[in-house]
Structure 1
């Protein structure tokens, strides 16, 4: 994951002469799996998580018409059509930091 994405989620409230307290707060929504160095493979998508690369079977990387790129899986049941698809998300920065 890029350092800029992590830095954006942190806010620092600095100490003052009146308040001798520093606060570091992490905020943010879940992060798309495409940001975890995702690569398309023959059996799915390989992503780089904390403990090394993992394969997400039956997942695929796609670009939408508006230019958005993501890792998706088909969310329909057995024997369903090609749609709908669902984008995959990983943990948010506050969850990962905790």
Structure 2
């Protein structure tokens, strides 16, 4: 699991501004925090989809937003990203059939695209199990089942949290969250100060 929080924090908010907001301060901070958290989920999803090639719906559903409350409880507000390693069959793949040539039979191969990276397997194959599950498998050389056949091992790629934890993704998400927090806070601050006549 990966956890992301708002680093924009309240350090950017002067005590004089919070004092002017009075009993509305907690509400304004919570509102800005929650807007930034929602943006983290949106930005993170977009970047991971581009990086991995995984469908948006699956990536988006791996994010959980734990919101800040208007009573000032913002320290536990966060975004959690969960998920297990993903079967390679969930990514884009291409099978190249074996070919006969003057040099003999060239082996087939299966290439899997992990977003910006492609991995090629010489002995992997796609199979559908009795349960309907589709996977990319490889035989475990020398490891036999009770019937004497070589065991099959399903191949997996990175999990969504692993993609989310890549530095260029976390840096981008955090930077945009800080901007979004500051923008939202300033908007709400102006709204409440104008409404109460504190300006």
TM range (shorter): 0.7 to 0.9
TM-score normalised to the size of structure 2?
Answer: 0.44
1:32-87 superposed Cα distances (whole Å, 9 cap, x missing partner): 10111122222221111132433222110011111110000001329xx6531100
Q: Which residue of 2 aligns with 1:94?
A: 161
2:122 equivalent to 1:57: yes
Q: Which residue of 1 aligns with 2:184?
A: none
User: Could you tell me how far apart the structure 2 residues matched to 1:26 and 1:91 are?
Assistant: 13
In structure 2, runs of 5+ residues without a counterpart are: 1-53, 98-107, 166-199
Runs of 4+ in 1 over 6 A off after TM superposition: none
Q: Which residue of 1 aligns with 2:138?
A: 73
User: Could you tell me how far apart the structure 1 residues matched to 2:163 and 2:117 are?
Assistant: 15
Write 1 or 2 for the structure with the bigger share of strand: 1
2:73 equivalent to 1:19: yes
Q: Which residue of 2 aligns with 1:83?
A: 150
Task: Report the aligned-residue RMSD.
Answer: 1.9
**How many pairs are equivalent?**
96
Write 1 or 2 for the structure with the bigger share of helix: 2
User: Could you tell me how far apart the structure 2 residues matched to 1:82 and 1:33 are?
Assistant: 23
Say which one has the larger Rg. 2
Shifted more, 66-75 versus 35-44: the winner is: 35-44
TM-score normalised to the size of structure 1?
Answer: 0.84
Higher relative contact order (CA 8 A, sep 6+): 2
